[in-house]
C-alpha cells in the first residue's frame, strides 16, 4: 500500500492505528465503533487526517439516532400519547411515528430534533394542537413551567402547592406557595401566609396554577 506522508509536518510517514470510538446520543444510548486512524511518528499528529472514517461514523450516528427515536416513542406509548393524535397536530402523514418506532423508516436529523423536544416538553403537542397561536402557546408554556416548578419544590410534608404571578401597577411577583395543612383550601392558605408587602389591591392581575 502507498505510504502517506504526514500532512501536518510533511516529514513523518504515517502509520495506521486502530481506534475504538465511543459514540453517544443525548438519550443515553452508546455504541462503539472500530476505525483506523493515522499517527505520525515524527510530530505525534493523530486522527482521521483524510476523513476516511466520515461515512462509517455518519452511518453509525444514523443508527444511534434511529434507536433514540424508537426509544422515545416507546415512552410516548407509556405516557398514553396517541401516535395518530401526535401525527395529526404535527401535520405528519399517519403511521409516520410507527414507522420510526419500528425503524422501517429512519428519521431525519430534523425529525430527531423534533422528537427530542417532544420528549422533553410533551406540552409542545398542545401548542401544535392550538395551531401554534402565540398567546395560547405562552399560556401552555407557563402552566407547564409552573407545574414543573411545583413538582421540583414539593417537600414530602407539603399537602398542596400553588404558584403564580401577581402583578400590580408597580410590581410583579412570582411566587410558589406550599401548604402544609390540608384544612384550608389552597387559595385561603396562600392568603393567610402571604407577606403583607406581596398583597395586592383587588383587580390586580393574578395568574395562578394549583396542584
Partner 1 sequence: MSKQPYYDVDAFLTACKIWTRPRVVVLKEAQDDARNDFGLKTSGEILRFIANDGLEQLEFINSKPWEKNPDPSRSMIVDGYEFVSLMKRGYVAFMFNKMTGYWTIKSFHISDKANLSFVDAFKKAGLINGGDHA
Give me 186's grid cell.
389552597
The binding track of 16-55 with respect to partner 1, each residue x by CB under 8 A or -, is -------x-------------x----xxxxxxxxxx-xx-
| 107 binding partner 1? (CB under 8 A) | no
Size of the site for partner 1 (CB under 8 A): 25
Choosing from 29, 33, 57, 144, the residue that interacts with partner 1 (CB under 8 A) is 57
Q: What does DSSP assign to residue 200?
A: -
Give the long-range contacts of residues 61-67, CB within 8 A, separation 24 or more: 61/23, 62/106, 63/31, 64/23, 64/24, 64/25, 64/29, 64/31, 65/25, 65/106, 65/107, 65/109, 65/112, 66/100, 66/103, 66/106, 66/107, 67/25, 67/29, 67/103
Choosing from 12, 107, 164, 179, the residue that interacts with partner 1 (CB under 8 A) is 12
Report the SS3 class of residue 9.
Answer: coil
Cβ–Cβ < 8 Å for 35, 48 = yes
Give me 170's grid cell.
408597580
Choosing from 61, 121, 123, 175, the residue that interacts with partner 1 (CB under 8 A) is 61
Contacting range for partner 1; rule: CB under 8 A; set: 6-14, 100-108, 135-143, 201-209: 6-14
* Residue closer to partner 1 (CB basis): 49 or 66: 49
Site for partner 1 in 192-211 (CB under 8 A): none
The least distance separating partner 1 from the CB of residue 94, rounded to whole angstroms, comes to: 32
| 5 binding partner 1? (CB under 8 A) | yes
Cβ–Cβ < 8 Å for 206, 147 = no
Contacting range for partner 1; rule: CB under 8 A; set: 5-13, 129-137, 155-163, 168-176: 5-13
| 10 binding partner 1? (CB under 8 A) | yes
The least distance separating partner 1 from the CB of residue 46, rounded to whole angstroms, comes to: 4
Give me 23's grid cell.
459514540
Cα gap 103→96, rounded to integer Å = 10
* Residue closer to partner 1 (CB basis): 15 or 129: 15
Residues that bind partner 1 (CB under 8 A): 5-12, 23, 37, 42-51, 53-54, 57-58, 61
Amino acid at each position: 500500500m502507498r505510504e502517506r506522508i504526514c500532512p501536518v509536518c510533511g516529514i513523518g510517514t504515517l502509520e495506521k492505528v486502530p481506534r475504538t470510538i465511543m459514540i453517544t446520543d443525548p438519550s443515553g444510548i452508546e455504541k462503539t465503533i472500530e476505525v483506523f486512524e493515522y499517527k505520525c511518528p515524527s510530530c505525534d499528529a493523530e486522527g482521521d487526517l483524510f476523513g476516511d472514517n466520515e461515512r462509517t461514523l455518519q452511518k453509525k450516528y444514523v443508527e444511534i439516532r434511529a434507536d433514540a427515536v424508537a426509544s422515545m416513542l416507546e415512552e410516548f406509548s407509556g405516557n398514553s400519547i396517541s401516535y395518530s393524535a401526535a401525527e395529526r397536530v404535527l401535520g405528519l402523514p399517519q403511521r409516520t411515528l410507527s414507522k420510526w418506532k419500528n425503524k422501517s423508516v429512519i428519521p431525519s436529523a430534523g425529525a430527531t430534533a423534533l422528537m427530542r423536544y417532544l420528549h422533553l416538553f410533551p406540552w409542545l403537542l398542545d401548542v401544535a394542537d392550538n395551531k401554534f397561536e402565540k398567546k395560547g402557546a405562552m399560556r401552555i408554556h407557563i402552566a407547564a413551567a409552573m407545574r414543573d416548578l411545583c413538582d421540583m419544590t414539593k417537600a414530602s410534608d407539603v399537602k398542596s402547592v400553588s404558584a403564580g404571578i401577581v402583578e400590580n401597577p408597580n410590581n410583579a411577583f412570582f411566587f410558589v406557595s406550599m401548604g402544609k395543612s390540608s384544612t384550608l383550601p389552597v387559595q385561603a392558605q396562600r392568603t393567610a401566609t402571604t407577606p403583607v408587602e406581596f398583597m395586592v389591591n383587588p383587580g390586580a392581575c393574578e395568574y395562578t396554577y394549583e396542584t
